[in-house]
Amino acid sequence: MSVITYRQALRDTLRAEMLRDDDVLLLGEEIGLFEGSYKITEGLLNEFGEQRVRDTPISEEGFVGAAVGTAMMGLRPVVELMTINFSLIAVDQIINHAAKVYGMFGGQTSVPMVIRTPGGGGQQLGATHSQNIELFYAFVPGLKVLAPSSPADAAAMLRAAVRDDDPVMLLENLGLYNSKGEVPDGDESVAEIGRAAVTREGSDITLIGYSRMAAMSLRVAEELAEQDVSVEVVDLRSLRPLDRQTVVDSVRKTGCAVIAEDDWLTYGIGAEVAASIQEGAFDYLDAPVRRVAMAEVPLPYAKPLENAALPSTESITTAVKETLSAVGKRVG
């Protein structure tokens, strides 16, 4: 077992998949000579050459479109978008082409491509470079949207994305790149797309998150355990398809739930999860489902304001305690 960063897990997995399958190639801005803005592709140009590691012009619509065509011809391109915010430039290629080709042509042509892209706030990158707009893509049939929270999951989910025959968006939160975790040596496990994980079992309340919020939820659960509160943490992992059953099963056990997300509150992923709980576990609920999310503002650049706008362990803890209070359990 090795302890590595989320960044290293992604880089090692990309390399392993390129060694495994000659049809895997990389496209993106500055992924070759510069080795990627976040060094996920470090050393891969030297090892695999320009035919398989392609530096592209600053033209997201162009190189995402090229990847769609490449995938339709039978290769397995992995596109790096420097930030999910730049996906807005390529949204036509993602939503109207990658997601729809298989259905529009009666299943005659699949689009086995991956779009890797980081997002999220907390890095003082300002309003246009700090967004969590995964909802846009989780909304679209034909796409699969993954959001790993740990190095081991980043590796297993990237492996699954590369080998999948549908277009997959793998969302990497900037705040997780330097996080560390255990990854089994020689591990080649492939995650099941559409499967959530109970990352900590508990009995008092269900705390649901994904990506950075799943990691933060685990910290909250550990802290509350010291106050005799048993929190069950569900990491969604896959936003589309969404594993509603694991969420419902957990809430049926605990009787209450808090959802933590990095995106804006209204119309967000949490709203979909709350609706799933209402449909599948309404009779088991002892308190309303609570959501904790980012303030509904363009994310400020100033650090104190940025911190104030983002969800935190404190805001999640408060929501958990208030929900437990509503069901008659007082916490220290």
CA distances from 239 to 61, 158, 174, 234, 322 (A): 24, 14, 18, 13, 27
Partners of 53 in the beta sheet?
26
Partners of 232 in the beta sheet?
206
Annotation says 60 is catalytic: yes
State the sign of the Cα–Cα–Cα–Cα dihedral 236, 238, 242, 243. negative
| Separation of alpha carbons 148 and 127, rounded Å | 23
Q: Which two tokens stand for residue 82?
A: 């420097």
Determine which one of 129, 134, 232, 261 is catalytic.
129
Determine which one of 17, 29, 35, 60 is catalytic.
60
Find the length of the chain.
332
Q: Which two tokens stand for residue 229?
A: 């509160």
| Separation of alpha carbons 54 and 244, rounded Å | 38
The three-state secondary structure class of 284 is helix
Contact (Cβ atoms closer than 8 angstroms) between residue 202 and residue 223: no
Contact (Cβ atoms closer than 8 angstroms) between residue 158 and residue 14: yes
H or E element in which residue 163 lies: helix 151-163
Q: Which region holds residue 35: left if phi is over 0, alpha if psi is between -120 and 50, else beta?
A: left
Residues that are catalytic = 60, 129
